[in-house]
Amino acid sequence: MKIVFIGTPEFGAVILEELAKTDYRPALVITETDKPKGRKQIITPPPVKIVAEKYGISVLQPEKIINCKNEIEKLRPDLIIVAAYGQILPKEILEIPKYRSINVHPSLLPKYRGPSPVQNAILNGDKETGATIMLMDEKMDHGPILTQKKVPIEINENAIQLHEKLAKIGAKLLINTIPSWVTGAIKQIIQDEKMATYTKIIKKEDGKIDWKKPAKEIDRQIRAFDDWPGSYTFFKNGDNLIRLKIIKAGVLAQTQHGPFGVPGKTFMATNEEIAVQTGKDYLIIKELQPEGKRKKAAKEFLKGHTKFIGIIFE
């Protein structure tokens, strides 16, 4: 069976790695172009390309996927598999293969269509999510469902951890789904449009913490945005305004009637970590990172910032 695999980030790389170990090893991989990454903006290949080269699979990196139409047609693939590519595939690409094109999506469709399903599941405090294998059409995450697998979202699980878990589950589900799909043993389930929800592209400014929100919501934001864009706030150090990224946090219920301070005010927690007044309860900062500095545990940070307790985050 000739397969074309299309994907870009780590989620797609995990799935490609598992496919490459089976009889469904792709003949061609299509991924996005190499891009600058990190503080030094070093040109870096996408994770999917790295896995493809590891297994000696041919790679194409077009600016636009339509530019690969001729190459795909010449290959005459039986199936296209898509996992977090980053572009919407046009109908003329999707319908090239004999068994059309299927997608591995990290949510329980029709819930959380779009680019940030994992982050939104955490942001919204969902107890479970899952992976969906769907038949693709020209609309975003709209096609019929072939198979699904539900998984719980663990307490304190962040987006990086959940992405990895869903990629592994999605890969296994995909490998089990392919033979049933090509033999016609799967009954397609049309998505209920009334139940559909959409996610947006996450922007850098989405990571700014609003201390008027409840501590539970802020904690979910920190876990949802741990990879990108991070959750951050600002504090004054003399005449300088310092950007502070919150890496790891927890929630402490406010047992007495308050408020004891304005949202964003810092207190010393009993375990020498940093407590911050929020719109409801306290956020306990366990690990943080000042701009341009390394990550530090809260206890270590306080040793060098003795006047940090009692300030108000901006």
Give the end of a domain, one of 166, 195, 224.
Answer: 195
- 181 and 87 share a domain? yes
Q: What is the Cβ-side half-sphere exposure of residue 225, based on CA atoms within 13 angstroms?
A: 23
pLDDT of 121 > 70? The answer is yes
Tell me how many domains the chain contains: 2
- Among residues 140, 167, 195, the one where a domain terminates is 195
Question: Mean of the per-residue pLDDT values for the chain?
Answer: 94
Which of 170, 195, 220 terminates a domain? The answer is 195
Within a domain: 36: yes
Same domain flag for 66 and 161: yes
- Residue 68 pLDDT > 90: yes
Asked if the bond preceding 110 is cis, omega within 30° of 0, the reply is yes
- Residue 155 pLDDT > 70, yes or no? yes
- Cα(52)–Cα(111) distance, rounded to whole angstroms? 31
- Among candidate residues 76, 141, 77, 147, the one with its CA nearest the CA of residue 114: 141
State whether 184 and 294 are in the same domain.
no
- The pTM assigned to this predicted structure is 0.93
Q: Which long-range contacts (CB under 8 A, 24 or more apart) does 178-183 make?
A: 178/24, 178/79, 180/147, 181/99, 181/102, 181/146, 182/1, 182/78, 182/79, 182/99
Please tell me the predicted confidence (pLDDT) of residue 221: 98
Residues 59 and 128 in one domain: yes
State residue 186's pLDDT score: 96
**Residue 114 domain boundaries:** 3-195
Q: Tokens 């900062």 correspond to what residue?
A: 285
For residue range 196-247, what is the model confidence (pLDDT) as tens digits? 999 999 999 999 999 999 999 999 999 999 999 999 999 987 788 999 999 9
Residues 132 and 230 in one domain: no
Is the same domain home to 188 and 39?
Answer: yes
Mean pLDDT of 295-302: 92
pLDDT of residue 163: 97
Say whether 244 sits in a helix, a strand or coil.
Answer: strand
